[in-house]
């Protein structure tokens, strides 16, 4: 997926946000924001991929600020906050109907993507927000195809998104394991508030399935930078589940990467279309809940 003009607003907001995470000193914030804007001017253009551009900018800020994990505190708060609600919301997910149960757990993982688990979320009624999501619908719904594919597969590769929301990925991962082997992937090192191995351990995902890293801090998936283990696990899987907009923005770039005759692998994208550019690319309205099946070329 290529950038839209309005993506400039989002990446600039991210630069301001990360400056505030790094320091409370206003003078230092100005410096960090200036570094980010300088990098935006280099990376921003019609051919840019939003997640790839974001990677360049956030890497630059980490280097210039000498802070390798600006969102560390926010991620810890997000994980702890989400864990408080996991046991309660899991009770809402069970059903004797396997399709309904799968849909519920997909919607919960989307709810994790919707809820801001940051420090200002403490006054929010999380249980109500989750219930509203579960009572709602999947505006793009390939759940029947997902269930059929699970029954005819042996292994699934699951690429995670952010800290906090990965706690709400856990019930879906457990459900998938009723059918197939699941390999979960997180970032090799910190970028934005994306999940890393530390976050996976806090969420308890490492206790239920195999977890690897991408071997890189690239936002979304960047095959050119990914570790050999990451590539091998993906290529040996029957299909991929990709959480969040960053994975969508990046993986859709590989749909025809190696030509029409290259071997394909199905990808199920699970996300909330939280901005107009992504919604437009998918063909939905902003705010829609999405479980979409597409295909990309294997590496």
Note the pLDDT tens digit of each residue in 22-64: 999 999 999 999 999 999 999 999 999 999 999 999 999 999 9
Residues 57 and 83 in one domain: no
Which tens digit of pLDDT belongs to each residue from 208-231? 999 999 999 999 999 999 999 999
Tokens 């929010």 map to which residue? 124
φ, ψ for residue 258, nearest 5 deg: -110, 20
pLDDT at residue 153 greater than cutoff 50: yes
Residue 1 lies inside a defined structural domain of this protein: no
Residue 48 lies inside a defined structural domain of this protein: yes
Of 33, 50, 65, which marks where a domain is finished?
65
Of 40, 65, 90, which marks where a domain is finished?
65
CATH number assigned to the domain comprising residue 165: 3.40.50.10880
3-state helix, strand, coil in the chain (%, to 5): 50, 15, 35
Which residue, 7, 49, 35, is CA-closest to 218? 49
Residues 45 and 150 in one domain: no
Residues 21 and 97 in one domain: no
Residues 100 and 237 in one domain: yes
Residues 37 and 80 in one domain: no
CA distances from 297 to 196, 225, 247, 253 (A): 26, 16, 15, 10
Query: Looking at 104-113, 121-130, 148-157, 204-213, which range is the least confident one?
Result: 121-130
| Per-residue tokens: 240 | 């991929």
DSSP 47: T
Residues 129 and 48 in one domain: no
Domain that holds residue 277: 71-297
Mean pLDDT to the nearest integer, 154-169: 95
Which tens digit of pLDDT belongs to each residue from 255-264? 876 555 678 9
| Per-residue tokens: 19 | 């400056």
Residues 86 and 138 in one domain: yes
């Amino acid at each position: 997926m290529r950038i839209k003009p309005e993506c400039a607003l989002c990446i600039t907001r991210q630069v301001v946000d990360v400056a505030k995470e790094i320091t409370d000193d206003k003078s230092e914030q100005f410096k960090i924001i200036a570094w980010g804007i300088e990098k935006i001017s280099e990376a921003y253009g019609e051919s840019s991929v939003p997640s790839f551009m974001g990677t360049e900018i956030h890497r630059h800020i980490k280097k210039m600020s000498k802070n390798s994990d600006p969102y560390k505190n926010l991620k810890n708060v997000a994980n702890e906050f989400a864990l408080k609600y996991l046991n309660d919301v899991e009770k809402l997910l069970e059903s004797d109907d396997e399709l309904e149960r799968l849909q519920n757990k997909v919607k919960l993982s989307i709810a994790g993507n919707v809820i801001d688990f940051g420090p200002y979320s403490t006054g929010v009624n999380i249980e109500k927000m989750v219930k509203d999501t579960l009572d709602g619908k999947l505006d793009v719904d390939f759940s029947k195809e997902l269930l059929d594919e699970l029954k005819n597969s042996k292994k699934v590769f699951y690429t995670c998104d952010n800290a906090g929301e990965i706690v709400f990925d856990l019930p879906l991962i457990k459900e998938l394991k009723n059918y197939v082997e699941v390999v979960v992937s997180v970032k090799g090192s910190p970028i934005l508030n994306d999940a890393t191995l530390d976050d996976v351990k806090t969420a308890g995902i490492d206790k239920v399935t195999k977890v690897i890293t991408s071997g890189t801090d690239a936002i979304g998936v960047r095959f050119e930078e990914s570790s050999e283990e990451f590539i091998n696990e993906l290529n040996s899987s029957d299909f991929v589940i990709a959480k969040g907009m960053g994975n969508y923005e990046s993986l859709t770039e590989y749909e025809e990467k190696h030509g029409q005759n290259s071997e394909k692998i199905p990808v199920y994208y699970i996300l909330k279309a939280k901005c107009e550019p992504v919604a437009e690319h998918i063909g939905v309205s902003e705010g829609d809940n999405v479980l979409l099946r597409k295909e990309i070329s294997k590496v």
